[in-house]
A and B are shown apart, each in its own frame.
Chain A
């Protein structure tokens, strides 16, 4: 029952001695669909870009006319990996529009859910998507055979992260118990105590993660860029705060459009962004630059061990910054669980909303792949009138294009397989979650 392959995984056709074409459809091991196109003619780079080929889904249009209580449940469906992050940014947009004051407990529990998602996503990315590149295997499946201890450790850590989300929000994809003004469910004390004990017991795995990534050779490549992330006065946080930049004073969230400046690029179904330069970068490396002084001591030590210090303009080090954030989130969640246990868990009714005509609010969360904005306008009838979402991967696309344009000329003497691999690794380092809007990766060479 074999049938012809619908589409070649990789086609390499030598046209002439001077013109070569390589086409890799749907670069694997990223969440989403994209193609890389590289066009080199007579030794000069004519075109180099990341094409997004995922189907657009029109979430912002869908939200119009829907009750505000549905917004976080709808928008968590933008991305299966960042589901809690989308829900959080969505809830904050609604809550800021409707003048909701959150309790201290709600804020604490939301942080724990975000930590669970950050860990789940980062562990998936560094162990299952990045590590195979360095350990010389195609993916996590052969990795399980060649390095079973590494895969088992990753699964242990990832399962904990998922259980952390599930304990407070019902599940990671898609969270259930987070609602406007608070939560609809609270765990029992024993569940929180059990999580606390597991977190402690898994600390050797966290240390082993730092050790492992300390041994991997990250490619050397640098291009100066602007970093953008949420900043808070006294913490390495992931919810609320101001919009920080390495090249501009912090701005309030309401000014996000002055940072993102969304515009269309014809080759991509995602919108591109630009702030002080032609492009900027968001995500773990950006967060590290803007607030590394607030990292937990163990995470600071991990950064030193891994050779990460600011400024670092090597985008491959985004994966290193993710490892540092794994350490930070782990220590922080232990602290947060201790706080929750010390306060005791008190079931609360969600905080009340104030409906008024044309209420607008911006919500932001720094999700695994970077800063995420939701903005809604909600009518007096509680129905959403306008919606806008600016996703992290969209913000990184312009920066990826420019990195590729800087990288390719340095690789022209290398075999195409090497160029392809280095470009794929570059794109993967950004951890693009293209289902946010779109899908990723093909490499197409024209001429060389």
Chain B
């Protein structure tokens, strides 16, 4: 790695909010720009360089034709970092995976959707290329981004917290939301965001992924105690982690009641009456 590494940012299927968070992080850490050379950042600059050592990749891979672009990034970069939940986990994009691709193409784009809008089940970039590190979150936490970049520049290996969010939430002296009847996935979610959602009164939605050895059964019991139905609990677990849950197969902590995970994929889809609610007019 050269003294002043060249870094590049790339985006796939995403809202680009993580790159915007990077822009925000740089506002308060302008000194970082002296330590690296940004050669590609389409959202902020026109200049474009193909010589880089560290690649930050935002977004999920959602179509076969994007795989070559990911592989080219892997070939070029010494270090590939998945930036945010879409790249790290599949994120919100993978909520569509419960339906068949034909179903979602037709629902959103009408009967020509299938031929015009190439897509396949959303996946994290690690399902396509080898990934060295991930910066979790939807969006990423700007402080964690800075810390991880600092470690990379020092030649150290960034390590993500392997304890649940509740640890940080307690340190922040937040009152426990689950104890107030507000569903919160903090007990099964990887820490690292300083419990920002509970801090603002909103339950954790596990955008950073599940913590190792999470006790899902106990979590389901807590959520049931809030009066949530099985379908609602599955929806809580699967907002950012639908891909991960499917990969867990029969070990996924899902009821058989909804199509949100591995067990009933695409079966609900076929039961739906065909709808033109979102589809455009036919030309």
Spell out A's residues near B (CB within 8 Å): 1-6, 9, 26, 28-29, 31-32, 54-62, 64-67, 70, 73-74, 77-81, 83, 124, 128, 132, 138-141, 155, 158-159, 162, 169-171, 173-174, 176-177, 179, 183-185, 261-264, 266, 269, 271, 375, 377, 381-383, 386-389, 435, 439
Contacts and interface: CB of A to CB of B under 8 A. Distances in A.
Contacts of A141: 38, 44-45, 47
Contacts of A383: 231
Contacts of B117: 56, 269
A159 B27 contact: yes
B109 A271 contact: yes
A184 B116 contact: no
B20 to A, nearest CB: 5
A173 B235 contact: no
Q: Which of the listed residues B72, B91, B201 has the most CB atoms from chain A within 10 Å of its own CB?
A: B201
Contact of B42 (A26, A59, A60, A269): A26
Contact of A179 (B110, B199, B202, B231): B202
A142 to B, nearest CB: 8
A393 to B, nearest CB: 13
Contact of A170 (B17, B107, B200): B200
A143 to B, nearest CB: 10
B92 A77 contact: yes
A61 B104 contact: yes
A66 B232 CA distance: 7
Contact of B17 (A28, A174, A176, A185): A174
Contacts of B53: 1
A217 to B, nearest CB: 20
Category for how many chain B residues contact A: 35 or more
Nearest to A257: B281
Contacts of A159: 27-28
Interface in B240-272: 258-260, 268, 272
Contact of B278 (A60, A158, A176): A60
B239 interface: yes
B69 interface: yes
B256 to A, nearest CB: 15
Contact of A56 (B21, B75, B119): B119
B7 to A, nearest CB: 13
Given A6-B50, A70-B235, A138-B46, A387 B277 contact: yes
B189 interface: no
B96 A62 contact: yes
Contact of A83 (B17, B27, B99, B119): B17
B147 interface: no
A138 B41 CA distance: 12
B160 interface: no
B232 A80 contact: no
Interface in B7-31: 11-21, 23-24, 27-28
A226 to B, nearest CB: 19
B43 interface: yes
A139 B39 CA distance: 12
B201 A6 contact: no
B104 A1 contact: no
Given A1-B78, A264-B283, A155 B27 contact: yes
A326 to B, nearest CB: 18
B21 A386 contact: no
Interface in B40-64: 42-48, 50-51, 53, 62-63
A56 B235 contact: no
Given A1-B78, A61-B96, A264 B110 contact: yes
A80 B19 contact: yes
Q: Which of the listed residues B27, B44, B66, B98 has the most CB atoms from chain A within 10 Å of its own CB?
A: B44
Contacts of A4: 50
B96 A58 contact: yes
B44 A29 contact: yes
